[in-house]
A = this chain, B = another copy of it.
Amino acid sequence: MNINRPTLLLNKEQVIPNIRKMAAKATRHDLFFRPHFKTHQSRMIGEWFREEGVTGITVSSVAMAEYFQEAGWQDITIAFPCNIREYEKIDQLAGKCDLKILVVNTEAVQFLKEKLKNRLFFLIEIDNGYHRTGLDTEDQVGIDKILAVIGKCDLIKFKGFLTHAGNSYHAHDLEEIKNIHRNTLDQLHNLKAKYKGAFPDMIISLGDTPCCSLLDDFDGVDEIRPGNFVFYDLMQEQIGSCRMEEIAVALACPVVAKNENRLEIAVYGGAIHLSKEYILDKAGSKQYGRIVQLNDNGWSAPVPKASVISLSQEHGIIKTEKEFFDQILVGDVIGILPVHSCLTADAIGEYLTLEGEKIDHY
């Protein structure tokens, strides 16, 4: 491949198994599989999900919902607190597909109730302890207020409870992830017990890549919405959600400079390509990516002791050891496994498969 600029390589031979594995897990546990498409944001990759039987999807913005609705998706959940300033687009979308939105306050439902012309479902977001958005599990008053505003409105229907256990991303080991998950399940069970009588069709939806990748207890859950698993990344590998070889994207970057004294390699590929997301290595140093060597089958395992230690707008600086340093020449192209594949994919806005095919990104 003739790569001259930072290019996000996509290994389809790894993406498909990543999709199949999660789809099979959902089937095994009798869960509706509603993958989050915010990671890839690609119509083409969406088609690969469709081929594995996926019919419903999750997105994180109204614009992303439009992008996929136009590509033929008919069952879409926008898993982001309802932005009432976009109600016109939400209304239009609701007229074109089976749309579900996320509600975290009475303001949104009150506003929609007054404005909406098309039928819409909503889920109430529950904060499992991640403390980003959503109502506390114990906040039955808050939940009941939202349901009371909607009342018997024919257009807006309560669909169930949704949670994102984002705190699993900060877990240090499997035991901690299990505890977070167990706790989340307990909270959701209590909610289901309280509201199932009044809303027999209600669902419990959860989704985060660590829990969905690692655990096998989905008791009481109706659907899962993981997203990152399609590509995985270094953060997920550090958490333990995936093995290094399951990471399905790598940023290919031309080598532009070498510094022998510091054993550093400078590449064309910086913060606007990788994003400034980092993980800490065992010594507590920031890592913005791990280095792989590109080959005919994609890329190698990560080079030991070679990582991206700093990023400016277009520069990436790789620190390594003499043996690898000496192998790399100015003008070579090397690969960087991203820390957070969702952000890298969003920054690059396009993929190139190992077969040389360009793949769209919203």
Contact = CB atoms under 8 A, between A and B. Distances in A.
Nearest to A227: B313
Contact of A331 (B61, B84, B258, B346): B84
Interface string A74-112: 000000111111100000000000000000110110010
A272 B80 CA distance: 14
Contact of A81 (B83, B256, B347): B256
A152 interface: no
Given A313-B346, A315-B133, A331-B111, A81 B262 contact: no
Interface string A247-287: 00000001011110010001010011001110000000000
Given A4-B85, A257-B81, A266 B312 contact: no
Given A86-B4, A131-B262, A256-B83, A313 B60 contact: yes
Contacts of A189: none
Interface residues of A, number: 50
Contact of A343 (B4, B132, B259, B272): B272
A214 interface: no
A266 B84 contact: no
Nearest to A82: B256
Contacts of A312: 132, 166
A317 interface: yes
A105 B258 contact: yes
Contacts of A272: 343, 346-347
26 contacts: A4-B83, A4-B86, A5-B61, A5-B63, A5-B86, A38-B314, A60-B313, A61-B314, A81-B256, A83-B254, A84-B330, A85-B331, A104-B256, A105-B258, A105-B330, A107-B330, A108-B330, A111-B331, A131-B259, A132-B315, A271-B275, A271-B277, A272-B346, A276-B276, A276-B277, A313-B343
Interface of A: 3-5, 38, 60-61, 63, 80-86, 104-105, 107-108, 111, 131-133, 166, 254, 256-259, 262, 266, 268, 271-272, 275-277, 310, 312-315, 317, 329-331, 333, 342-343, 346-347
